[in-house]
Structure 1
Amino acid sequence: MVKQSLIFVKPGELRLDEYHKDDEPSETEVLIDVAACGICGSDLHWHLEGNIGPWYARKEASMGHEASGTVIKVGSKVTHLKPGDRVCCEPCEPCWTCDLCRIGSNNLCHAADSTCAGADKTGFFRTTNVWPAILCHKLPDNMTLKEGALVEPFACCIWAIRRAKLEGNEKILITGSGPIGIICLMIVKAFGASKVCITDLNEERLSASKNFGADYTLLVDSKQTPQQIAEKVNQIMGGPPDVAIDCTGVGSCINTGIIGVRRGGKVLLQGLGSKGVNVDLSTASLRQVDLLGVARYNNTFPAAIDLISSGRVNAKGLVSHIVSLGDYQQAFDLLKKGKGMKILLAPKVDIIQ
């Protein structure tokens, strides 16, 4: 069987390489037969622009970080996994020893910024991959490999929502109805939000959000000001939301949240754009709105697996396309056009249909 790996060449250009020999896992690693890997919004930014926020794509890097697969081989010191186990993988490896890691904030570890799939470590847009066993989570029998490829974005969103310290019955505004927006929608509903309004420029994606529990949807126009959109949200929801979750990284959307939430409310910064944004900090301060940054996930893979396997969220319904790794350009072209929802790249499409 020919093995393939998707490589970042330069902004706007990817390359599919062939390889014939797998890397040998060390005593603490496993070799994984990759089943599927989701294309994240960050992958699209890296492909088209070469960076997202402060992170730049490394030339000749193998991309992809939302992965599931089956263990082929285990290192001599690996005890919690065996060949044949189906797993999902945490993409970033912390140092485990710094002050932040030792207090449980390994998502803030400096090492984790670079030792990530697609950065200094080989990513999962490939047929097989060697990965630290400690970062691999066994999937329950009732979870599919398709669902396993969604655990990483769910883990990120669960961590974001935990940062907001929701107590239940809150009114929530979500700006952006892409995959992350929809995942946040499903999670806040599962966590007891009373009403959720979601906004977007993309009518097709916005319409799809109704299938995942949105109480209100608002199609916005790029010519509208944050003030105008915030006023419309207040009218629709019968008052200001308690929390806004921005899933776009766009300054105007963040400002909509700052203006739109109640005084003393919270704005979660879940989205990340490719460039700096203009945010109305004066209004945030005067309204005493808390802006909450979010860094990846933090010990939330088990919670994500539990949420998906329990059926409390419709994770499988999020996947709109499963595309062969060899047809990667088709998948990225769909995303560039704002088509579909979550797109998975799969070395063997038939095993996760």
Structure 2
Amino acid sequence: MRALVITGPGEAAAGDVAPPLAAPGEVVVDVQRVGICGTDLEFFAGSMAYLRSGHARFPMRIGHEWMGTVSQLGDGVDPGWSGRRVMGDTMLGCGRCRRCLRGHQHVCAARQEVGIRGDRPGALAEQLTVPASSLHLLPDQLDPALGALVEPGGNALRAVQGAALAPGHRVLIMGPGTIGLLCALFARASGAEVHLLGLAGPGLEFARSLGLAHVWTQETLPDLPVDAIIDAAPSAELPPWALSRVEPGGRVVLIGLAEEPSRIDTRDLVLGDLTVVGVLSASPALEETIAAYADGSVDPRPLIAATIGLDEVAGVLAGARPDGAGAGPKIHIDPQRG
């Protein structure tokens, strides 16, 4: 089968690899749609932290935002999965440790991450092998684009849940990338008053096209009380700023990661009686995300700028924009296109 393989920093190409076989407890999925995210760009650049820690190594096959149809079953897998449209959890815990047994497999010390960690090949390929226990069924009304947006949507939904928003609350979301925009859509669906902060330019203009009325730069941000702040930006300076800006008794949710460590003043936490929440994974919110997409309360499809084939992926990882791409931040791949 064909797959996208990164052989080293700045080196990637689509080519032939051995087709996957389902081990006991696993399934083979015919992949229909995959999204590219910031982690994939870090692997291509060679800057992803897992490459330094030894949790990942070249050559590697990326892709963890995916959907497809189950085509093969390994021994012991429920036959009911055959032919079903699914997406899958990225985080694959060992299933035996204290964290896994408490339902926290996404922070298992021995976890694999599809297309990211532990030599588990990713979904930028015609087929993918994953444990059947990681699958989530997609209802018929979810098209392939929505199915491949469940994983990033789950991250955003967990961030919004961490902000503990209620109708009438005011939330400031920092960063108009895919996760920040998804946070804005989920926060709007909760009834909160949504404000989005970013750098002047196309990203903020696109946010306005989604019907987000309160879009600001740091220079134009009004001095309004903010009940919660969600940091979805890759900036080391923003977390301490958020702690000083949120209302006393409020919440700050951290989901963006910077290359450099942030330095926060714990006095801001104590004197502001603040709650700070970190979000690593979509795992606990995947089913709720599927439900929100299925009932139409959140529709993230406008974020997709283009859908391309495997042969175009290397160029996108290198920074090229597909011909005819829209203004959205997300690029999708249909591996069956070639």
Question: Counterparts of 1:80 and 1:287 in 2: how far apart (Å)?
Answer: 54
Aligned 8 A contact 2:206 2:327 in 1: no
* Alpha-carbon distance in structure 2 between the residues aligned to 1:339 and 1:329: 20
Unaligned regions of 5+ residues in structure 1, if any? 221-228
Please tell me the residue identity of whatever aligns with 2:159: A
1:9 matched to 2:2? The reply is: no
Deviation at 1:242, TM superposition (A): 0.5
Mapped to 2, the partners of 1:280 and 1:319 lie a distance apart of 38
Mapped contact 2:226–2:245 kept (Cα < 8 A) = yes
Over aligned residues, Cα RMSD in angstroms? 2.4
Aligned: 1:199 with 2:184: no
1:329 matched residue in structure 2 = 314
Matching of residues 1-353 of structure 1 within 5 Å? 3-19=1-17, 21-52=18-49, 57-79=56-78, 81-112=80-111, 114-120=112-118, 121-193=120-192, 195-220=193-218, 232-235=220-223, 239-332=224-317, 333-334=319-320, 340-349=328-337
Deviates more, 1:241-250 or 1:41-50: 41-50
> Could you tell me how far apart the structure 2 residues matched to 1:233 and 1:263 are?
19
Q: Which runs of 5+ in 2 are unaligned?
A: none
TM-score by length of 1: 0.86
Q: Quickly say closer, same or farther: Cα 1:199–1:27, change in 2 above 3 A.
A: same
Query: How far apart, in 2, do the equivalents of 1:253 and 1:46 lie?
Result: 24
How many angstroms apart in 1 are the aligned matches of 2:103 and 2:167? 25
Q: Distance in 1 between matches of 2:13 and 2:160?
A: 36
Name the aligned partner's letter for residue 297 of structure 2. R
1:84 is displaced (CA, Å) by 2.4
How far apart are the structure 1 equivalents of 2:49 and 2:178?
17
More off after superposition, 170-179 vs 291-300? 291-300
Shift of 1:302: 0.8
Shift of the 115–342 alpha-carbon distance from structure 1 to 2, 3 Å rule, reads: closer
CA drift at 1:318: 1.5
Residues 177 and 329, structure 2, Cα contact 8 Å, conserved in 1: yes
1:246 Cα shift?
0.5
Is the 1:320–1:340 contact (alpha carbons within 8 Å) kept by the matching residues of 2?
Answer: yes
Aligned to 1:296, what secondary structure does the other structure show? coil
How many corresponding residue pairs?
A: 331
Deviation at 1:16, TM superposition (A): 2.6
Secondary structure, counterpart of 2:221 in structure 1: helix
d(CA) in 2 for partners of 1:253, 1:234: 17
Aligned-partner SS, 1:22: coil
CA distance in 1, matches of 2:216, 2:70: 44
Aligned counterparts of 1:105 and 1:118: Cα–Cα separation in 2: 18
What is the distance in 2 between the residues matched to 1:206 and 1:277?
A: 24
Asked whether the 8 Å contact 2:150–2:289 carries over to 1, the reply is: yes
CA distance in 1 between counterparts of 2:227 and 2:316 reads 37
Amino acid of the structure 1 residue aligned with 2:248: R
Identity of aligned residues (%): 27
Give the aligned residue type for 2:216.
Answer: L
Shift of 1:33: 0.9
Cα separation, 1, equivalents of 2:49 and 2:199 = 21
Which TM-score applies when normalising by structure 2?
Answer: 0.89
